[in-house]
Structure 1
Amino acid sequence: MAISEVVWDMDGTLLDTARAVPAAYIAATEELCGRTVDRDEVLRLYPVGPPAEILARLVGRVLSAEEEEAYYRRLGESPVDPFPGVAETLAALASRGKRLAVFTGASHRAAEILLASAGIGPDVLIGGDEVPAMKPAPDGLAMAAQKLGREPGELAYVGDSPLDMRAASAAGFAAWSPSWGHMYEPETPADRVLDRPGEVLGLLNGF
């Protein structure tokens, strides 16, 4: 079945958040408990869940909704940029009537903050706090397919981490791995490896 639309990961795929997101966690942890953590510790916790889960692990206790605001405040203070070629690729897709769908492990709110900072407005946005199970479970991508009104076999997921590729396969999506991503690993099985965002345009049916 030909691929007609794409669902994108956010961090490390659409947006270069390698500094902004860890910095927000580091600053929020310091504010909430006085503990100093480093970027590597934050990155190791990315697979555990959305921001509330990661921040609670860093601080060492369950946090109130008010305390979680420390992370979102810091996140909003750090502008982020799309990777080179992303804005042009998304504009080209939109010009052909292709919708922009994003499924990210970040919370819906964090994704809104970061995407808005980068000037990106998705048509479909699914955060990690909106699905029953995190990647590599297929839940988020199954939800995306439903929202797009497409069969999984008509869709590709572009995501930089091994968990993204496993989630794509589990959901019945084509798994496209962006080599520019933060967590890209060349040995991770993928249906395609992309060297630049614009390669997506040549891979879509009827583009």
Structure 2
Amino acid sequence: MINAVLFDMDGVLLESFEAWASLVDAAARHFGHPPVTREAFRAVYGQPTQADVDHFFPGETVEGVEAYYEAHFAEHAAAAVVMPGAADVLTALERQGVPTAVITNTPSGLARQMLESASLAPVAVVGGSDVPKAKPAPDMVFRACEILGVEPWDALVVGDSPYDKQAAAAAGAPFAGIGGIEGNFTLSGLHQVLDIVEGTFK
């Protein structure tokens, strides 16, 4: 039985690649590093901030880069688009009494800012800054389940990357893949999350 749903953010609830790519490129210029192309950024998209530092901001601190991200994301927020069905699915789950969380490698403060700017309101947000190890480690799944008061095996993880799938598997949680990745359930759209919760998924 599914008692909670844990969503990845980027590529699942929000299509934010362009917003992130623009923000990271602006950060590179701010810190005096070479511009970051879309192609270069795609290779690390979805990974923790440490990956950005390693690839684009050598010598900078994760804390400094994350502070820049949080201070300047609003300048790039217009490029982030809510994924089809995201708002409706969150609302339907809330009405059914099924708690939701976002688990994202994005720092939690910035993740909340991004979700609020998109008018999306999960019960909880667990970001890369909230746990010892980001995805693909299971720490975020465990932390979200603790906050929501459910066991990992009763929480559906919805994601679009191998990091999401690996985190779910390591936590013992069922995984629903979207955007081309397969799982215990393979989704063609977010609306099918409701079918899984209701036990009618085909």
Per the normalisation by structure 2, the TM-score is 0.89
Aligned partner of 2:58 among 57, 60, 65: 60
Q: 1:67 to 1:4 in 2, by over 3 A?
A: closer
Structure 2 counterpart of 1:9, one-letter code: D
User: Is 1:105 aligned to residue 105 of structure 2?
Assistant: yes
Q: Residue 40 of structure 1: CA displacement?
A: 2.5
Match of 1:176 in 2: 176
Aligned residues of 1:4 and 1:205 also touching (Cα < 8 A): no
Structure 2 counterpart of 1:56, one-letter code: V
After TM superposition, list the pairs within 5 Å mapping 1:38-53 onto structure 2.
38-46=37-45, 48-49=47-48, 51=49, 53=50
Inter-partner Cα distance in structure 2 for 1:46 and 1:63: 18
Q: CA RMSD in A?
A: 2.0
Inter-partner Cα distance in structure 2 for 1:191 and 1:67: 36
Match of 2:150 in 1: 150
After TM superposition, list the pairs within 5 Å mapping 1:90-129 onto structure 2.
90-129=90-129
Aligned residues of 2:10 and 2:46 also touching (Cα < 8 A): no
Which region of structure 1 is more displaced relative to structure 2, 7-16 or 90-99?
Answer: 90-99
Aligned residues of 1:103 and 1:144 also touching (Cα < 8 A): yes
User: Is 1:72 aligned to residue 65 of structure 2?
Assistant: no
User: Is 1:5 aligned to residue 4 of structure 2?
Assistant: yes
Match of 2:189 in 1: 196
Deviations, residues 144-184 of structure 1 (Å, cap 9, x unaligned): 111111111111100100111111111011010012xxxx4
Q: Residue 65 of structure 1: CA displacement?
A: 4.8
Match of 1:20 in 2: 19
3-state SS of 1:71 partner: helix
Inter-partner Cα distance in structure 2 for 1:159 and 1:41: 22
Structure 2 counterpart of 1:198, one-letter code: H
Inter-partner Cα distance in structure 2 for 1:97 and 1:47: 29
Q: Residue 100 of structure 1: CA displacement?
A: 2.2
Inter-partner Cα distance in structure 2 for 1:171 and 1:206: 22
Inter-partner Cα distance in structure 2 for 1:103 and 1:21: 17
Per the normalisation by structure 1, the TM-score is 0.87
Percent identity over the alignment is 31
Q: 1:61 to 1:98 in 2, by over 3 A?
A: same
Deviations, residues 106-135 of structure 1 (Å, cap 9, x unaligned): 000110111011001221110011111121
3-state SS of 1:158 partner: strand
Aligned residues of 2:17 and 2:45 also touching (Cα < 8 A): no
Q: 1:92 to 1:27 in 2, by over 3 A?
A: same
3-state SS of 1:101 partner: strand
Q: Residue 42 of structure 1: CA displacement?
A: 2.0
- For structure 1, which runs of at least 5 residues remain unmatched after alignment? none
Match of 2:136 in 1: 136
- For structure 2, which runs of at least 5 residues remain unmatched after alignment? none
Aligned residues of 1:10 and 1:102 also touching (Cα < 8 A): yes
Structure 1 counterpart of 2:145, one-letter code: A
